[in-house]
Each structure stands twice: as structure tokens, then as C-alpha cells.
Structure 1
């Protein structure tokens, strides 16, 4: 893996460092923007945007907005853990030994989650919502502090993908598990948006939701879509690495925004389902590039959970294009997988 060291930014200690994250705004091009349309709005507690090149006969921005908002509304109705009437929250409210008919999208994501759980030896799991609530990070979280070991042990009886099974068009559970799609939903939505844009004849676009994004084609002047990975700086934003993407999705997961400190230790919203606790390693963020935004989203979370060495081994074994930033005593160690360097190294 390629590696380099960045100096430490003291803002990291107070959680204000944005990390090595994707800038939602695309770096400015040098061409005429008259044919580049931009639409956006709010979704999933954050924002979405679509930039696309409009030629004669293509959809106007209002039509694109309606299509995207329709997709995001459907994703919210199916996958949101913040509304009681969503498909997944109605399932979560059921007791053990229950089944519920589910849309194909839910069953697809359950299958992806099971695959990632098996490949991570159980560290990644879609059923950690009760743990997140217990530690204060979930939709029903009430406090941010270390819970009693007995409380963790009780909740762990309701955690584990092995308690889920698909029966035809139904999702079933043999324990009162609760499913949380936060590590997959935005990426899934971006893939659906990208597919809809292409079905509308839009071949040059950058679609983004809550920071997960996918780009296809080029900007109006023919230059590629360029995404900045931001380096930690205490004085201004600096693009540590700028990558060009065409036909790929990009996702970043990090532990620097949602966490609490107790007794000098950082406890983030990133959970290892095997331990029932937030991860305590020094891997601060992971960026993944993949043809599927859904898989980029899930894999960036999985790698962040695994920690520096396990994540590096997984990325190499599975040929994942991944970019890591790790805390160290002397600064930040930045590493990239061989697949990442093959994909972007030659031209970025």
C-alpha cells in the first residue's frame, strides 16, 4: 500500500476536523456552464444534488428534480429508521418469530448486508440499531455514555444477521432484532438515481446524496468530473488528492463527526457487532471507489469497522479501491490500496 504522513491538526481532538472526505461540490471546470444544470434539496437529514449536462431534447431541471425526489421519497418510506411507518421500522417493531412482506429493495439490501457480515466475520452487521440506541447514537438514543456491561449483554441477544432470513417475499426474524440500513441506504439511492438519469437519456452527470456520489461521462467542456479528498488543515480547506471519475461511485466513512469522549477515550457511532461497542482503533476515515454506490457505501463502513490492518488486508484480498487515513503520534498516516492506485494513480 502507498503511504505518506500528514501533520496532526489539533481540531481532530475536538471533532471539528472534516477528515479526508469528499467535497460535495465538484471542482470548478474551465468551460462554459450554460448547458450544465444543477438541482438539489434535502434528504435523510442531509442534502442531495444532481449536476448534469443538458442537450436539446433532454429533461429540464424541474423534471429531473421530480424524478429524484420521487426516488428519495420511496427510499425514505421503505428504509428510514426515523419514521415509524417505514417498511423497515414496521418490521423492527415486530417481536421475534415474525415475518413481514417486504419490497424487493429491502430484501436486496438484506442480502448485501449478510454478504458483508460474513466477509467481515460478523464485525459489520445491519442489526446493530439496539446497540446504537443503547450507546446514544441511534434514533431512540437518549444519552451518550458507556452503558453497563449487563445492558450490553442483554442487547447483544438481539443482534446478529443470523437471526434474519428471507422467505419468498417476506423478511423473517427468530429474535427481536432491528435492522438499520444507514450504511447502505444513501448509496442505494444514488444507484437508483443514476439509473433513472441514464434512462432519461442523461449520460453526463454527477449524482450525490448525503455525500455518497456517482459520476458518469464528463462536464460540458469535455473535462472529467473531479472529486477532492480533503486533507486536515487548521487554516483553510486543501485538496490533498483530486481524483477523476467516470462510471464509478465514491463513498467516505469516518469517525470524526458523531462521537463522545469519556475518560480520555473516543467512542464513535461506528460499531463492531462482535464486541457490542464502538471501535477504538486509530483508523479515522476510509474512502472507497466502486462501480456501485451501494457497494462503495457498505464497503467504506465495513473497512472503517475493521481497523487499519484488517481493513488493509480485506481491501487487498477483495481488490477494493480504498484510501485510508489513520491517526498516529506524529500526524496522520495516509495509505491507499493497490486497487486504488491502479484506478486513479496514473491520472491523478
Structure 2
């Protein structure tokens, strides 16, 4: 499989005690490289299920399809061929790509334009994108020019075609891994596998139980640059989980920190004190996109959005003494915490 994308390195969901012990059917585990990172599948092999090699073949076919359709790191992918088109052009697209465009439009509208799939030119300009050459604060004139090519309103769908009225470039990095995990989970279910944990680049979905009958558990990482520290342990059954953060992919200039997370309205990296957000959602695709959206909005606007839309969200906020955490009411309910 090709090296798809350097997806969001800020995704920091860790695995807890997954394998379990004691009696039960065997736990099958496999994984490998994908999307510039890795994927991992764990499932309980009950009697009558397909052979492990057949399961792996199905999973890697899904990942290869996502690579071919959505990668911004290969020039022949469907989305990169579209990105190379000039303004006022259309291209036929797979249904999966059109689905993600529609999800991106929804999230863009609900965030009043802060979240946007067309930020790739901005990421390149600041040095974070696939064509980025140097991480630095760009010239104001260059920034103003690039901002003319950013905005979901420049995209529209016509039948099976994706069209643009400006030379926009679409970047699915904030939702494609979640989509891949959901697609893998659906395929596992169709194969009769109902006890599993599917993960790609840190986005994950778990269902059922481990071989010993205990729940799948994951650990949320405290946002530190030097080492990984478990902040919170969660039992997950039937939900997708995604974490976005700004503390691993950034640069500093003039004493100021610039992260790779952009507010499309300003064309600049976010500058608030929200370090990371974890979202729990029945759809890993939506958890993926919403964790990015909430990170962009920041600790106050993001909190208000999560409460308004009943989103399970765990916020880690920088403070003078280190980090403080805040959980939405939906997260408290889903994780079994006591509500305020």
C-alpha cells in the first residue's frame, strides 16, 4: 500500500488493556502502514467466522480505495486530479468522495465557516501541507491571494460530479480516516464479526467485548511534547472516538507558536489555549470532523457548540499551572461520569 497522507499527527488516542486474558475465543490482531501512519484491527474470532487472511484482505482493500480516492500525497488520486483543475471545471467522483464533501459542507455551515475542507492552499503556504516548503509566517500579500481560493461555497455537486467556481483544493485529512474506520467496521459486521476494535491513524471504533468478556478500553493521552501520559480511560462499545490537538505539529517564530490547525475565516492557525479535544460519536466520520471543528472553535465557542449539539467532548485546556480538563454533559453521560 502506498504511503497515503501524513494525516493529523495530533490524533493521540492510545490503547488501553486490549487483549484481555482468561477464557474465551482467540483474539486476532493485524495491522500495517496506512495514510502516512498505521492501522490496527483486533477482533474475537468466534467459530464460523471467515479466515483471518480473508478479513485482512477486505480491510486493506478498503484502505487502498481511500488512498486512491482521497490522498493529497499522490498526484493520481481522485481528489488531487480535481485539485489540479482550474476554476469553473467539474469532475466525476466516487460516491464516497461526494459523501465527504457533503459532510464538510455541513460542518462548515455549522461552524460559520471556521471549519472548511478547502484549506489545503493555506496549509501549503504556512508550510504544513503536502506542497509546503518552509514553516514560516507568510507574507500578508501572499496570504490575501491564497484566501481568495479558500471556501466551501466555491464547491458544488452536480449529479456525480464535483465542481468548482474558483481554483480551490480539497483536503480530506480531517474526516477521511474516520470514514475509513466506519467503512471497515461496517465490513466487519457484514462478515459476522461483532466484537472488534478498528483503528486507523488514531481514529477508532469499538464494538462488543474482548475475549474475556470485558469491554474494549482506550486511554486518552495528556497533551505533552516529551512523553505520552494516560489522562482518562474509557470503555467503548458501538462508538467512534477521535482526538485532535495542536501540540505535536507546530512551529515557533518570534516567540509565538503556530499550529497546523487553521480557522478558514482568518486564514491563520488558531491561537487560543485549547490543546486537544476528544469526541465520542456513533459515527467515527463525525467524531473525526467534529474533533477538528471543536479544536478550531476553541475552549469557549467549542464548548458552546458541543453543548448545543449534544456532542460527547473532552476538552484539554492550557492553563498557567499546566492543563485543565472539561467534559461536555454528553461525554459525561457516555463515559459514565457524574454530571454537574
The aligned counterpart of 1:140 is: 131
Q: CA deviation at 1:230?
A: 2.3
Per-residue deviation, residues 237-293 of structure 1 (Å, max 9, x unmatched)? 543211111000000001111110011111011000000010011101000000000
1:282 aligns with 2:301: no
Cα distance in structure 1, aligned partners of 2:11 and 2:336: 17
1:262 to 253, 258, 270: 253
CA 183–235 in structure 1, closer or farther in 2 if over 3 Å, else same: closer
In the TM superposition, what are the counterparts of 1:96-245 in structure 2 within 5 Å? Answer: 96-231=87-222, 237-245=228-236
1:325 to 316, 332, 335: 316
Cα distance in structure 2, aligned partners of 1:114 and 1:345: 32
Structure 2 gap segments, 5+ residues each:
1-8
1:60 aligns with 2:55: no
CA 80–26 in structure 1, closer or farther in 2 if over 3 Å, else same: farther
Q: CA RMSD in A?
A: 1.7
Per-residue deviation, residues 272-331 of structure 1 (Å, max 9, x unmatched)? 000001001110100000000000000000000001100000000000000010101112
The aligned counterpart of 1:345 is: 336
Cα distance in structure 2, aligned partners of 1:23 and 1:29: 16
Cα distance in structure 1, aligned partners of 2:268 and 2:10: 22
Report the TM-score, using the length of structure 2 for normalisation.
0.94
Cα distance in structure 2, aligned partners of 1:33 and 1:279: 48
Q: CA deviation at 1:53?
A: 0.3
Indicate conservation of the 8 Å contact 2:49/2:193, yes or no.
Answer: yes
Cα distance in structure 1, aligned partners of 2:11 and 2:102: 29
The aligned counterpart of 2:3 is: none
The aligned counterpart of 2:4 is: none
1:72 aligns with 2:63: yes
The aligned counterpart of 1:300 is: 291
Cα distance in structure 2, aligned partners of 1:177 and 1:237: 37
Q: CA deviation at 1:72?
A: 0.3
Q: Secondary structure at the match of 2:14?
A: coil
RCO higher in structure (CA 8 A, sep ≥6)? 1
Indicate conservation of the 8 Å contact 2:196/2:208, yes or no.
Answer: yes
Indicate conservation of the 8 Å contact 1:27/1:228, yes or no.
Answer: no
Cα distance in structure 2, aligned partners of 1:194 and 1:19: 23
Per-residue deviation, residues 48-101 of structure 1 (Å, max 9, x unmatched)? 010000011112221111111100000000000000000000000000000000
CA 53–81 in structure 1, closer or farther in 2 if over 3 Å, else same: same
Report the TM-score, using the length of structure 1 for normalisation.
0.91
Structure 1 gap segments, 5+ residues each:
1-17
The aligned counterpart of 1:8 is: none
Cα distance in structure 2, aligned partners of 1:158 and 1:237: 38
